[in-house]
Amino acid sequence: MKTVKGGICAAKGFTASGIHCGIRHNKIKKDLALIYSEVPASAAAVYTTNLVKGAPLTVTENHLKNGIAQAVICNSGNANTCNANGIEIAEETCSLLSAELGVRADDIVVASTGVIGQKMDIEPFKKGIPPLVKALSADGCGDAAEGIMTTDTIKKEIAVEFTVGGKVCKIGGIAKGSGMIHPNMATMLVFITTDANISPEMLQKALSTDIQSTFNMLSIDGDTSTNDMVSVLANGLAGNEKIVSEGDDFNEFMKALNSVTVTLCRMIAADGEGATKLLECSVSGAKTLKDAKTVAKSVVCSSLLKAAMFGADANWGRVLCAVGYSGADVDVNKIDVKFKSAAGEVAVCKNGAGIDFSEETAKKVLTETEIDIIIDLNDGDFASKAWGCDLTYDYVKINGDYRT
């Protein structure tokens, strides 16, 4: 497996585009993105568990009942959530794109991100979809990645090449996500494409399994968005024998999917609103996988720990505090904690108690932009990872007047 260029356009038969259509007031920023497969593709998706859901999620879930899709359209700047006419706008968006692309309206994934509860108009879509389709290109990944951004500061894209059944396949993805991220069954927005040949049922199984150790282990601020969605399109143009059951081919596909999703998780966490540091919490020695996940997620979600990481303060007591209230079955008298980064490693806790360490060394370790929080529970064989970011002054600045 190796990283390749192209993102969502790396796989055969996929093109993409992104333009400004008028949803955003800032004409410099793109606000509409499109991904297109030249043939109908197997499709799978997972969605937010928030009871307040954006209208596009309801429409997409209905469209994907047959496991087939050929295009993805997503706008930014207005989340199309809590709108009286939200369903109608999402459906009409698909109808407009259907007419322009010549594909079935119910073979379109529709998504939306931005401010919640703002009135939405179909006119920008009517104006924007024709040039959006004309702009489709095998080099369009960057434009599409930009078109789904809100408070993101960087575009997030990745692609890898792998082999299934002797055939070279590619899988790529783009993501947006900076704030309001504490996913359950998804993350802010992630769109993945592959030319691997896999049935809709196995594609859904692969995605639903993968997110349990990737996107469900990601948190920026503890808020689960109303518009979370991860979708995957697999058009089969790589020519491998169709994956219809578990086995070696399915396992290879899972490895490739996981390499893309983990990379996107890290990108999203590093680009958290106002963030200056990526936090990765690695937990080992747990009695069960559930315990390992619970501890890792609790630590990256701790506001106090996140603030300490911003200040490069080795306040390891906040780690133990988060472990203690996590609800996991742990023996607090066995816990070891270390902080690690490109500047080195420092052990701060042994068997649940503080040990002597150099504050100067700890400061150097925690001043880096990527921090590993390493926890050994010393009580079992299970391990897990979670991703987050530090909590800074800028997070409050960004969200204090996000709407106005």
Q: What is the pLDDT of residue 241?
A: 97
The per-residue pLDDT for 50 is 75
Q: Does one domain contain both 116 and 245?
A: yes
* The amino acid at 393: Y
- On whether both 393 and 248 belong to a single domain, the answer is no
Q: Tell me the CA end-to-end span of the chain in Å, nearest whole number.
A: 46
pLDDT bucket at 404, cuts 50 / 70 / 90 = low
Q: Based on the domain organization, do 179 and 249 belong to the same domain?
A: yes
Enumerate the β-bridge partners of residue 278: 370, 389
Domains of the chain: total: 2
Element (H, E) at 262: helix 248-270
Q: Note whether 27 and 168 are same-domain residues.
A: yes
Strand ranges of the sheet holding 278-286, from the earlier edge strand across to the other edge: 353-354, 344-350, 336-341, 370-376, 278-286, 382-389
pLDDT one-digit tens code per residue, 327-354: 999 999 999 999 999 999 999 999 999 9
187 is annotated as an active-site residue? yes
Q: What is the mean pLDDT of residues 350-379?
A: 97
145 SS3 class: helix
* Cα gap 139→399, rounded to integer Å: 34
Looking up residue 181, the CATH number of its domain turns out to be 3.60.70.12
Examine the domain organization and report whether 255 and 333 are in the same domain: no
Taking the C-alpha atoms of residue 375 and residue 189, their distance in angstroms, rounded to an integer, is: 30
Comparing CA positions, the residue from 105, 107, 114 lying closest to residue 83 is 114
Arithmetic mean of pLDDT, 277-294: 97
Q: 222 or 318: whose pLDDT is higher?
A: 318
Which contiguous run of DSSP H or E holds residue 96? helix 86-101
Read off the pTM. Answer: 0.88
pLDDT at 184: 61
Specify the pLDDT at position 226: 60
Asked if the model's pLDDT at residue 108 lies above 70, the reply is yes
- Among 270, 291, 317, the domain-final residue is 270
Residues of the chain above pLDDT 70, percent? 95
265 and 320 belong to one structural domain: no
Determine contact, residues 299/373, Cβ cutoff 8 Å.
yes
Which bin fits 77, alpha (ψ -120 to 50), beta or left (φ > 0)?
A: left
pLDDT band at residue 395 using 50, 70 and 90 as cut-offs:
confident
**Dihedral in degrees, nearest 10, Cα atoms 175, 177, 178, 183:** -140
Q: Is 275 helix (H, G, I), strand (E, B) or coil?
A: coil
Token pair for 118 = 């703002």
| Same domain? 325 vs 344 | yes
Domain that holds residue 283: 278-400
- Among 270, 303, 323, give the residue marking a domain's end: 270
List 150, 187, 194, 224, catalytic entry: 187
What's the DSSP call for residue 402? S
Beta strands (DSSP E) in 144-218 are 156-164, 167-176, 189-194
**Is residue 15 within 8 Å of residue 136, measured between CB atoms?**
yes
Q: 208, 238, 270 — which closes off a domain?
A: 270
Residues 116 and 140 in one domain: yes
Summarize pLDDT for 139-186 with one digit per residue, the tens: 999 999 999 998 788 899 999 999 999 999 999 999 997 655 566 655
In terms of domains, do 225 and 373 share one?
Answer: no
Q: Where residue 334 sits, what CATH number does that domain have? A: 3.10.20.340
User: 135: pLDDT confidence band, cut at 50, 70 and 90?
Assistant: very high
Average pLDDT over residues 85-109: 96
Which burial class, exposed, middle or buried, applies to 194 when counting CB atoms under 10 A from its CB (0-12, 13-18, 19+)? buried
Choice between 6 and 222, residue whose per-residue pLDDT is larger:
6
**pLDDT for 235 beyond 90:** yes
Summarised one tens digit per residue, pLDDT across range 9-56 is: 999 999 999 999 999 888 889 999 999 999 999 999 998 777 777 888
Tell me: do 138 and 248 sit in the same domain: yes
Same domain, 317 and 253: no
- Percentage of residues in the chain with pLDDT exceeding 90? 76
Alpha-carbon separation of residue 69 from 107, 171, 209, 276 (angstroms):
4, 16, 21, 38
**282 and 266 inside one domain:** no
The residue with greater pLDDT, 223 or 357, is 357
Please give the Cα distance from 347 to 232 (Å, whole number). Answer: 41
Q: How much is the pLDDT for 219?
A: 79
pLDDT, position 183: 63
Element (H, E) at 133: helix 123-134
